[in-house]
Structures are given as structure tokens and as C-alpha cells.
Amino acid sequence: MKKILVTGGLGYIGSHTVVELQNTGFEVVIIDDLSNSSKEVLSRITSITGIKPDFEEIDLKNKQAVEQFFKNYSIDGVIHFAASKAVGESVNEPLKYYENNITTLTYVLKEMIANQVPNFIFSSSCTVYGQADELPITENAPTKPAESPYGATKKMGEIIIEDTTKVTALKAIALRYFNPIGAHETSKIGELPLGVPQNLVPFVVQTAAGIRECLSVFGDDYNTPDGTAVRDYIHVVDLAKAHIVALNRLLNNENKATCEFFNIGTGKGSSVLDVINAFEKATNKKVNYKIVARRAGDITAAYADTSLANNELGWKAELGLEEALASSWKWQESLK
Ligand code: UD1
């Protein structure tokens, strides 16, 4: 049985990926510092799969602890989610982001190399493309200057990894996620935003639940069919499955370069109003909303060309927007 380290494995995407790893026969060890997650997720994962993953509460900024971890565990691959991810916060606390997302990445990579662990999957983001000149966005689209320190850490992370693969035995795949939404069908794991949600779907769901009074739709004067901004919303379970196929590609030496990049999205663009309408249709719940000014730093439209992931990874998103939104709602209801 192959043993995989999942950093940030108690977080939103991490926990869904741990479930898929266990379901496909991998042994999992999670590192999480619980800074934006809870230990309860461990028992929730266990109740879905029937297998308790190993868990180490480690802050990856602790270099000695990372070294000791790699001495204690014999690992076949690493899926690296652990990172801070609030765009607004990153603008106000850049050093927190560079330390949490970059310093820790270098520690993990160093120990992988020192311990001959060659297989690395990185959580990247479509944010590296900024406002792309052409839609849908292919992996060949040029990356743009980052809009925030958070975005910079994703871009820099890719560069650090690619440079490292050039001169070591490290093999890596960076998955560029579009907008992950939804929750596991069991409603035992899902997204748990702390405080007021910054992302669209958690805000929609909390508005429908009566926790928030009114959703602000940020701008209806974009150059899009209905004037609201367009994104590619992907079900988190589909996204989790992409990590398994990417990992297997490396484990089976099927990769065509030592560092590869894949867009992980549905290929379909949906506007903010599309999301509200699909949510109302999927749940029969009304979402109270008003149009307000654009949010600083937002782009007009982004959706993926997924041909490379479809053809090379043999992966395709299977779940649609309404299914994803219904699962987000079911998850919210389960939190009552
Ligand atoms: C954001 C981040 C992105 C990150 C991703 C993680 C920014 C600028 N970008 O993407 O780097 O990788 O989250 O999930 O923060 N919207 C509203 N009302 C709201 C919230 C959002 O109208 O209350 C709109 C936004 O203007 C946007 C769309 O909904 O058009 C999606 O927003 P969001 O969920 O925050 O994701 P992104 O901004 O695309």
C-alpha cells in the first residue's frame, strides 16, 4: 500500500482528497496545524471511509518538526494543500503569506529530496492567469502579475517547484484550480469559512439560511452576457479526484515532464446571477441579493480549457453546478 502525506488534510479540499485517497486504496498521513481547520474533521473522515488516517499536528514553519516527520514516516508521495488562502488578508499581512505558503513549501521540498520522496502534487490556482486575454484559458496562457500576495505565493510556488524538478529527482504536478465549491454527499465534510465568508457560494448559502441578510453582487457592468462576473465553479469532489489521477500519473512514471501544470475546472463559465439562479432552482430557497460596486482586484471572466486534463490525465468533472450547490446547501443544513 502506498503511503501519501497530505498537508492541510483537515481543510476543505484536503479532507475531500483524503477521502478519495482512502477510497482508492492509499494509506494517508495528514499534517495539519489546525490554524483554519478542526480536529473533528479527522473523525468525520473516518466515519465516511471507515479508516482513521494517521494525523500529526505539525506547523510546517517548524523546520525541525518537518525533518523529524520525514525521519519517522516512510512516504511515497506528498499532496501539499497547507497554505493560507484569504486574498484580502494577504494584502494586509504579506509576510504571513510568504512565510506560511513559501517558507513551508521549501521545507517540505527539502525533506522530500533528502529522503528520496519524488512525487509531489501542488495546490495551485487559476489566479496565476489573472485576467487572461483569451477564454477558455489553456495552460499555455501567459501568467500575469499577481494581484495579491496570496496570488504571488501560488505563482512563486510553481516557480520554486519547477526549478527544483530541474536539478533534483523531484517530479511534480501543479493543479490550477478554478473555483471549488460544494461538499461531500454525506454532508460530513465541507467548507467551514471562519467569520463572514469572502467567497461567493458560502455567502449565498448563508444568506439562504438567514445567517446573512443580503448577498452583495459585486458589479453588474462587466463585459459578460448578464453583466456579472463569470467563473468556473467546480465540485470539490471532482477536484479531489483530480489529485488521485495526478498522483497515479507520477507514481506510474506516466508524466511527460518533470513538472507539469493542469487546469482543473469544468470548462463552463457561470455568472454570479447564474449561480444564484442555479442555487434557487436546486434548493427551492430564495437568495436575497442586491447589486453593489465591483470588488477591487476582481477579474471579469475566467473559465478553463480542460482538454489537457481530459486527454492527459483522463480526468473530467462529472458533477454540475446545481448538484454542487445542492450539496453546499445540504452541508449548511447539517451544521444546524
Ligand atoms: C477567489 C480569489 C482567488 C482564490 C479563490 C479561492 C479573489 C480576488 N480571488 O476567487 O484568488 O483562488 O477565491 O476560492 O479574491 N462575489 C459576489 N459577492 C460576494 C462574493 C463574491 O458577487 O459576496 C463574486 C465575485 O465578485 C466573483 C465571484 O463572485 O465574481 C466569485 O468570487 P469568489 O468566490 O470570491 O472567488 P474568486 O474571486 O473568483
Q: Is residue 50 part of a domain?
A: yes
CATH code, 210: 3.90.25.10
Cβ of 298 less than 6 Å from ligand 1: yes
Give the pLDDT score at 114: 98
Q: Model confidence over 96-114: pLDDT tens digits?
A: 999 999 999 999 999 999 9
Q: Are 119 and 78 in contact (CB under 8 A)?
A: yes
Q: What is the number of domains present in the chain?
A: 2
Among 90, 122, 125, 127, residue to substitute to test ligand 1 (most atoms within 8 Å of Cβ): 127
Same domain, 122 and 227: no
C-alpha cell at position 107 = 521545507
Same domain, 89 and 25: yes
Same domain, 153 and 292: no
CA 163 – CA 79 distance, rounded (Å): 18
Same domain, 204 and 323: yes
Give the pLDDT score at 58: 98
Residue with cell 450539496: 327
Q: Model confidence over 279-321: pLDDT tens digits?
A: 999 999 999 999 999 999 999 999 999 999 999 999 999 999 9
Same domain, 174 and 217: no
Same domain, 93 and 207: no
**Continuous segment of H or E residues that includes residue 230:** strand 230-231
C-alpha cell at position 310 = 481530459
What pTM value is reported for the model?
Answer: 0.98
Distance from Cα 300 to the centre of ligand 1, integer Å: 11
C-alpha cell at position 37 = 481547520
Q: Is residue 43 part of a domain?
A: yes
Same domain, 208 and 145: no
Same domain, 38 and 120: yes
Same domain, 174 and 277: no
Cβ of 314 less than 6 Å from ligand 1: no
Q: Model confidence over 61-83: pLDDT tens digits?
A: 999 999 999 999 999 999 999 99
CA 310 – CA 99 distance, rounded (Å): 34
Catalytic residue among 97, 107, 129, 150: 150
Q: Identify whether 233 is a catalytic site residue.
A: no
Same domain, 107 and 215: no
Name the band, by pLDDT with cuts 50, 70 and 90, for residue 194: confident
Distance from Cα 147 to the centre of ligand 1, integer Å: 13
Q: Are 164 and 291 in contact (CB under 8 A)?
A: no
Domain range for 227: 200-231+267-305+319-334
